[in-house]
């Protein structure tokens, strides 16, 4: 099993005891954390759009809406093609999408808080739209005994329609089913290689 855009390896930490797993991510810092979290698991640095591991897998996963980081329709289509090429015949590609354009809310803001004795964190999230890119800005305020730090993080995530996803899977030669609920209410594409 290959986890594409595996981040810090959290999914693989749960899967590695039942399956032979590998991970791939673009960010070397994420991969460093993943390697510490999952010792012995092979991790590869690469872009979900055009990686080539030179082998195939029984299953390829792309979870937590990571497919949206392809940003454009052409790059999302290429990412699906790339993941499909890494499937054995009969293999399964599981993709958890980001929000579709008709569901994404602009002008939304949310807050999360951590209130531990030695750590205080406030994270405020705001959303906006730039063409077909959803913009999610995170504002962090982190307090420790060393002081208070403020920093931001900007995520640009492509918005694709359900039909665009379906076409991408079919164009890659995959038979596709869709679970409208998925893991987190964003849906889940289940595509098999023929």
Over residues 35-62, the mean pLDDT reads: 98
* Residue labelled with tokens 């958890």: 96
| Interacting residues of 151 by C-beta distance below 8 A, sequence separation 6+ | 140, 142
What CATH number does domain 109-158 carry, 1.10.1740.110, 2.20.130.10, 2.60.40.1120, 1.10.357.10? Answer: 2.20.130.10
Predicted local distance difference test score (pLDDT) of residue 191? 98
Q: Give 52: exposed, middle or buried? Use CB within 10 Å, 0-12, 13-18, 19+.
A: exposed
Predicted local distance difference test score (pLDDT) of residue 194? 86
**pTM for this predicted structure:** 0.94
Nearest-5° Cα angle at 10, 5 to 12: 75
Predicted local distance difference test score (pLDDT) of residue 149? 98
Minimal CA–CA distance to 128: which of 157, 88, 167, 160? 157
Give residue limits of the domains in the chain.
2-100+159-193, 109-158
Asked whether the domain spanning 109-158 has the same topology as the one spanning 2-100+159-193, the reply is: no
Facing residues of 59 across strands?
A: 92
Predicted local distance difference test score (pLDDT) of residue 22? 98
- What is the tens place of the pLDDT at every residue in 71-116? 999 999 999 999 999 999 999 999 999 999 999 999 999 999 999 9
Contact 85, 179 (CB under 8 A): no
Signed CA dihedral, 8, 191, 182, 178: sign only: positive
Q: What is the DSSP string of the chain?
A: -EEET-TTSHHHHHHTTTS--EEEES-HHHHHHHHHHSTT--EEE--TTT---SS-EEEEEE-TTGGGGG-SHHHHHHHHHHHHHTEEEEEEEEE-----TTTPPTT-EEEEEEEETTEEEEEEEEEEEETTEEEEEEEEEEEETTEEEEEEEEEEEE---HHHHHHHHHHTTEEEEEESSTTTSS-EEEEEE-
The CATH superfamily label for domain 2-100+159-193 reads Vaccinia Virus protein VP39 (3.40.50.150)
Contact 97, 68 (CB under 8 A): yes
Q: Per the structure block, which two tokens stand in for 7?
A: 């981040």
| 104 phi and psi angles, rounded to 5 deg | -60, 130
- What is the tens place of the pLDDT at every residue in 2-40? 999 999 999 999 999 999 999 999 999 999 999 999 999
């Amino acid at each position: 099993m290959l986890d594409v855009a595996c981040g810090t390896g959290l999914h693989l930490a749960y899967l590695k005891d039942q399956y032979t797993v590998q991970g791939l991510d673009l960010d070397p810092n994420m991969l460093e954390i993943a390697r510490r979290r999952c010792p012995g698991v092979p991790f590869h640095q690469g872009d979900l759009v055009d990686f080539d591991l030179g082998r195939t897998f029984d299953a390829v996963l792309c979870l937590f809406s990571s497919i949206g980081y392809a940003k454009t329709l052409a790059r999302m289509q290429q990412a699906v093609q790339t993941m499909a090429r890494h499937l054995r015949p009969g293999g399964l590609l599981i993709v958890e999408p980001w929000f579709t354009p008709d569901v994404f809310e602009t002008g939304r803001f949310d807050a999360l808080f951590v209130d531990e004795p030695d750590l205080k964190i406030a994270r405020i999230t705001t959303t906006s739209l730039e063409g077909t890119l959803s913009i999610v800005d995170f504002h962090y305020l982190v307090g420790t005994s060393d002081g208070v730090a403020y920093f931001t993080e900007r995520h640009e995530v492509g918005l694709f329609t359900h039909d665009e996803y379906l076409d991408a899977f079919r164009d890659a030669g995959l038979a596709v089913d869709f679970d409208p609920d998925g893991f987190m209410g964003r849906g889940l594409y289940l595509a098999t290689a023929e």
